[in-house]
């Protein structure tokens, strides 16, 4: 007779097989069958709100490179989480999301906590979604979700599980190995190499997929062989290229004229691991009509299909980049002069964001990880806080706020003992501040720096760009982040005087447990987009 086990037992075996031994959740009654008699070898990380839970799983999954399981409560919990489900989809984060469903026998009567069309709720921002037709099919559905989440481009998947399925009998799942990579078309790769060799002045635009695949060193080797400058793609959610490298040219703004102007002098554009291109403001991208050859290499078929121009090669970067470099002949191109480094900003009052980031760059440990969600201060951060190490930077690929603080918790859990520095705007901080409680419960070495300009700085900037006046809901007076941090079990300190900032930063970066540093910065309206 074939071996049988419960759905729950088969699920736990699946998690162990895939190394998914950290589970993130905010549970409710429909999840109790899953949580019953929780095993000691699987860590359950509690978050206090579902959006925070998804972002923690996202940060953990991106930092480890493996799928992470996130357990939500019914349709209401999925609704709370949807903002960060959208962000996980844009981040290409391999998160397997489960949600409890009411017992199968009650579903025809539209019961309390019952989810109507549960599998459709998170669409289209999951790669795959399912509510199994039979209880015995739950482990197979979860295995499907795990394998598909890990396929490139990675992304979240979703399984709705009725509450009475966990003790139902099922058969154990056979062990499986599923490839995650796509090899490049050899003929197209050879054509790309030939075009690069013939170009007088090629340029590279590199996005987050390079770091996600562990192909960073191969990208550096390719750029050095081409002797070509490298720009970070707009809204890159990870390190695109070491920002202290002589070939690094800077960060492309998400504005079509700015992208065109930055790349106009080049006779070939090679885009690696990024869309062509992610824009935020309207305008004409001259590259799409002036005949400049654009080549794109990415595993993301949708990004290839959406590209405005050029030749696309669907391939995993870790396979394509070394193969492309091997096809290139030596070049006699002279490198462009390295970009000028900004002068140290003055220690003036009110504190300038530039001064904050410059001071932080001098004190941050070499192996620290930066997790950022301070959109209005991103240009200042990019100028004064260069990221140098692969796996050393994360942010959100979407525009949804409330991601990076809980994501920093997930990153910190993925790298025990490693300093993680979350740089969060005061507006962003209030979306998922409850993540501090989880950081405190796990005594994480997480330094959270609140870049506090007293409001939504990005909205101030866009109001100026769009010529709008008297817009309500932009200022955020009266928030005491130190008191909020202490209420969550974290140390807190506020800094207003630039003379006190270096010592306060040093103390926060030494603190063994989580600490919040609230830095009052200049509320002057930042410039997010330049025309060129």
Question: What token pair was written down for 322?
Answer: 């070394």
- Which among 19, 105, 214, 399 is annotated as catalytic? 399
Residue whose tokens read 């009509």? 289
Residue 384 annotated as catalytic: no
Beta-bridged to residue 494, according to DSSP, are 518
- Which among 280, 283, 308, 489 is annotated as catalytic? 280
Residue 224 annotated as catalytic: no
* CA proximity to 201, closest of 272, 251, 249: 249
- Which among 18, 59, 73, 160 is annotated as catalytic? 73
Backbone angles phi, psi at 307, to 5 degrees: -60, 140
Residue whose tokens read 């202290």? 244
- Which among 17, 19, 29, 214 is annotated as catalytic? 29
> What is d(CA 92, CA 156) in angstroms, rounded to the nearest whole number?
7
* CA proximity to 375, closest of 529, 490, 227: 529
> What is d(CA 71, CA 161) in angstroms, rounded to the nearest whole number?
10
- Which among 50, 131, 213, 372 is annotated as catalytic? 50
* CA proximity to 528, closest of 253, 238, 236: 253
Let me know how many helices (H) and strands (E) the chain has, helices first: 19, 20
Question: What token pair was written down for 23?
Answer: 């589970």
* CA proximity to 159, closest of 138, 183, 136, 187: 138
Alpha helices in 162-300 (DSSP H): 186-198, 209-212, 216-226, 256-263
Quick check: 160 and 133 in contact, CB under 8 A? no
Residue 50 annotated as catalytic: yes
> What is d(CA 463, CA 440) in angstroms, rounded to the nearest whole number?
37
> What is d(CA 411, CA 64) in angstroms, rounded to the nearest whole number?
8
Radius of gyration of the chain (CA): 24
Residue 28 annotated as catalytic: yes
State the DSSP string of 189-222: HHHHHHHHHH-SSEEEEE-THHHHTT-HHHHHHH
* Torsion sign across C-alpha atoms 371, 375, 377, 381: positive
All residues at 6 or more sequence positions from 249 whose CB lies less than 8 Å from its CB, including other chains: 203, 229, 230, 231, 262, 336, 339
Determine which helix (DSSP H) or strand (DSSP E) holds 516, and give its type and residue range. Answer: strand 515-520
Residue 280 annotated as catalytic: yes
Residue whose tokens read 């193969």? 323
DSSP annotation of 238 reads B
Residue 399 annotated as catalytic: yes
Quick check: 372 and 447 in contact, CB under 8 A? no
- Which among 25, 28, 427, 457 is annotated as catalytic? 28
Alpha helices in 253-403 (DSSP H): 256-263, 301-306, 317-327, 353-363, 378-384
Catalytic residues: 28-29, 31, 50, 73, 280, 399
């Amino acid at each position: 007779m074939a071996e049988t086990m419960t759905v729950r037992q088969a699920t736990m075996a699946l998690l162990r097989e895939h190394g998914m031994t950290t589970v993130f959740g905010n549970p409710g009654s429909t999840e109790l069958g899953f949580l019953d008699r929780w095993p000691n070898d699987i860590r359950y990380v509690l978050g206090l709100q579902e959006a925070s839970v998804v972002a923690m799983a996202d940060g953990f999954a991106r930092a480890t490179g493996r799928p992470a399981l996130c357990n939500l409560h019914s349709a209401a919990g999925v609704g709370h989480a949807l903002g960060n489900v959208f962000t996980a989809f844009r981040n290409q984060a391999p998160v397997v999301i489960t949600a409890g469903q009411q017992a199968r026998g009650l579903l025809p009567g539209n019961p309390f906590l019952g989810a109507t069309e549960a599998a459709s709720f998170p669409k289209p921002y999951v790669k795959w979604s399912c509510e199994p037709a039979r209880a015995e099919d739950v482990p197979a559905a979860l295995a499907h979700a795990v394998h598909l989440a890990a396929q490139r481009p990675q992304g979240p998947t979703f399984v709705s599980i009725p509450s009475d399925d966990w003790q139902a009998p099922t058969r154990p799942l056979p062990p499986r190995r599923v490839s995650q990579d796509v090899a490049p078309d050899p003929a197209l790769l050879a054509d790309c190499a030939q075009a690069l060799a013939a170009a007088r002045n090629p340029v590279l635009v590199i996005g987050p997929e390079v770091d996600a695949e562990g192909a960073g060193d191969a990208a550096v080797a390719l750029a050095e062989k081409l002797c070509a400058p490298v720009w970070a793609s707009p809204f890159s959610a990870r390190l695109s290229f070491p920002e202290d490298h002589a070939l690094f040219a800077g960060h492309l703004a998400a504005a079509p004229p700015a992208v065109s102007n930055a790349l106009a002098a080049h006779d070939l554009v090679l885009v690696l691991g990024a869309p062509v291109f992610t824009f935020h403001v309207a305008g004409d991208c001259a590259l799409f009509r002036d005949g400049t050859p654009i080549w794109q290499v990415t595993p993301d078929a949708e990004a290839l299909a959406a590209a405005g121009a050029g030749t696309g090669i669907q391939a995993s970067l870790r396979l394509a980049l070394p193969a492309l470099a091997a096809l290139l002949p030596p070049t006699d191109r002279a490198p462009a002069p390295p970009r000028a480094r900004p002068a140290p900003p003055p220690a003036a009052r009110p504190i300038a964001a530039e001064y904050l980031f410059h001071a932080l760059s001098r004190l941050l440990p070499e192996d620290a990880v930066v997790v950022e969600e301070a959109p209005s201060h991103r240009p200042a951060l990019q100028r004064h806080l260069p990221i140098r190490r692969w796996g050393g930077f994360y942010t959100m690929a979407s525009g949804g706020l409330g991601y990076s603080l809980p994501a920093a918790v997930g990153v910190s859990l993925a790298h025990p003992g490693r300093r993680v520095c979350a740089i969060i705007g005061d507006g962003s901080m209030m979306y998922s501040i409850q993540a501090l409680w989880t950081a405190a419960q796990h005594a994480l070495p997480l330094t959270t720096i609140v870049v506090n300009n007293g409001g939504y700085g990005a909205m101030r900037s866009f109001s100026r760009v769009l010529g709008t006046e008297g817009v309500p809901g932009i200022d955020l007076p009266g928030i005491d982040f130190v008191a909020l941090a202490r209420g969550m079990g974290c140390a807190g300190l506020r800094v207003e005087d630039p003379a006190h900032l270096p010592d306060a930063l040093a103390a926060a970066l030494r603190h063994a447990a989580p600490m919040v540093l609230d830095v009052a910065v200049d509320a002057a309206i930042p410039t997010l987009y330049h025309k060129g």
